[in-house]
Amino acid sequence: MKTGIFGGTFNPPHEGHAEAARAVMRALSLDRIIFVPTAQPPHKALPRFSATEEQRLCMTRLMAESVEGASVSDIEILRGGVNYTADTLSEFKKLYPEDELYLLMGTDMLLSFGAWKRPADICALASLAVFRREENDLEKIKAAAKETEKAYGGRVCVIENDPIVFSSTKARGGDRQMLSPAVEKYVSDHCLYVDTDALCESVKGRLSEKRYAHTLGVASLSCELARIYGEEENRAFCAAVLHDCAKEMPLSEQLSICEKYGVKQDYDEDNLKELIHADTAAALAKAEYNMCDDVCRAIKYHTTGNDEMTLLDKIIYVADACEENRKWDKAPALREQAKRDLDGAVVFLLDETVKRLEKNGKKPYYRTRTALCAAKDTERKKKMADEPVSIVKTAVKAADAKKASDITVLKVAAQTTLADYFVIMTGMTGVHLRALSEEIEKKLKEEGVTPHHIEGVTSSWILMDYGGAVINIFLQDAREMYALERLWGDAETVDINTFLSEDEEK
């Protein structure tokens, strides 16, 4: 098999890479091409918000989809550090000993080939397949090819393709024409290659000094929260910098921007002036700054929250209220809470907002109220999932209501890392076992808890794994045979009557 190896940083991969690969495949009748993104060299400082290795790998995969017979290898990224082409080719030779290898490179690479590490080894492992980068460079390349063959042996194939004029530098500089739609979407969704200096300058021009200082404060805290909770800093930074970019525009101008971009808003007079800048800023972020939908929605909801807040929505919403320039007396505590418990901080802030508005005789905007209900609900469910004892309680009550017999709860936390609690019960028939398992699952789902898995270990034993609590529903014979209580004899038995009587009290 004839295999082409095409290494590079692919930062980002562009249509020039795809075209070069296709041209070489055609000219040399290759069976396949493997793109090999390089690892990030250690100690080399990258500009802020550069694409990570994983992101370059993802983008290369997206680009490769448009090249028939192409695939992507993570061999260099997995190896990490400085990778030499000679070593990578040796790896491929080991992987595909029967293959004839071709190393793809542009003319610029051939001209500097003598400076590569172990060029003779490279030429012994693979033929070089050189594609053109410029007009009128054919003679120069042919001469360089001859010299290379003479100096290092092996074979250099010069591909007489139309010159590849695309470049990653230009793509990073904002020329997105050279990216495939899929790579372009990826770049946009992840806010890659944003010129942050230009973005900040532009927003600075729209704001007073004080508002701009607040904006930078939101950006700094948002990036910190992004690092803590696993959001991409690029996205948090862009959303934060743009969140108040329309705040100081006259209302009439904001209304005409909203109309121009078809933004629907339903604020009453009370909150129109206070809230519309978020919609205007989101519209500008999309139309003028080319931001992705996720960033625009975080900007749109930064004043009100919403009932399905994404991680980015939460970060911007909370950071806006408590960045370090905020004079609000509760800001420092909220800032600390946000770093420990973002969901709790969202609930606190929504609650405070509703209370403050009501105290001032104003009606909170509906979105803030629904956001508060949703956030409280999420918190309650999270608490429930974190506390296996509440899972046990719900399961025991559901089982009791469906006539399970001999319900036993063992606290096994000290005996095993498998779970904190085992719940064991007996059903009368196979149908009864399934009815019990369905009822328990339904009741726990209502509480927002779903099982890791459920299995009918045998037709006479259903096991429901809820992480901290494992529920076992047996037929009588199977219960006696497996004898879990005897197996976990050291475990403490929990008195289930307290769970059941709680219900009666209500």
State which of residues 231, 232, 244, 279 lies at the interface with Fe ion (CB under 5 A): 244
301 contacts 277 by C-beta, under 8 angstroms: no
Amino acid in position 218: V
214 contacts 323 by C-beta, under 8 angstroms: yes
Stretch of 32-40, 59-67, 238-246, 358-366 contacting Fe ion, by CB under 5 A: 238-246
60 contacts 35 by C-beta, under 8 angstroms: yes
Q: Which is nearer to Fe ion, 19 or 320 (CB)?
A: 320
Stretch of 24-32, 72-80, 142-150, 318-326 contacting Fe ion, by CB under 5 A: 318-326
Strand ranges for 107-199 from DSSP E: 127-131, 156-158
Task: Give 212's contacts (C-beta < 8 A, 6+ positions apart).
Answer: 203, 204
Q: How far is the CB of 274 from Fe ion (least distance, A)?
A: 9
Task: Give 472's contacts (C-beta < 8 A, 6+ positions apart).
Answer: 422, 423, 424, 425, 461, 462, 463, 464, 484
Q: How far is the CB of 205 from Fe ion (least distance, A)?
A: 17
Cβ neighbour number for residue 460 with a 10 Å cutoff: 19
Burial 363-381 (b: 16+ CB within 10 A, else e): ebbebbbbbbebbeebeee
- Check residue 323 for interaction with Fe ion (CB under 5 A): no
Q: Which parts of 50-109 interact with Fe ion (CB under 5 A)?
A: none
Stretch of 145-153, 317-325, 390-398, 435-443 contacting Fe ion, by CB under 5 A: 317-325
Give the per-residue contact string, 160-199, with Fe ion (x = CB under 5 A; - = no): ----------------------------------------
Q: How far is the CB of 144 from Fe ion (least distance, A)?
A: 58
By CB under 5 A, how many residues form the interface with Fe ion?
A: 2
Q: Which parts of 425-484 interact with Fe ion (CB under 5 A)?
A: none
d(CA 421, CA 410): 6
Q: Which is nearer to Fe ion, 207 or 470 (CB)?
A: 207
Whether cis (ω within 30° of 0) applies to the bond prior to 12 is yes
Q: Which is nearer to Fe ion, 184 or 244 (CB)?
A: 244
Residues 458, 463, 464: CA angle, nearest 5 degrees: 150
Check the CA dihedral 170-175-180-182 and report its sign: positive
Q: How far is the CB of 247 from Fe ion (least distance, A)?
A: 6
Amino acid in position 359: K
Q: How far is the CB of 342 from Fe ion (least distance, A)?
A: 18
Q: How far is the CB of 316 from Fe ion (least distance, A)?
A: 9
d(CA 70, CA 41): 25
Q: Which parts of 3-32 interact with Fe ion (CB under 5 A)?
A: none
d(CA 336, CA 345): 9
Q: How far is the CB of 341 from Fe ion (least distance, A)?
A: 22
Q: Which is nearer to Fe ion, 277 or 479 (CB)?
A: 277
Q: Which is nearer to Fe ion, 7 or 305 (CB)?
A: 305
State which of residues 53, 279, 320, 323 lies at the interface with Fe ion (CB under 5 A): 320
Residues lying near Fe ion in the complex (CB under 5 A) are found at: 244, 320
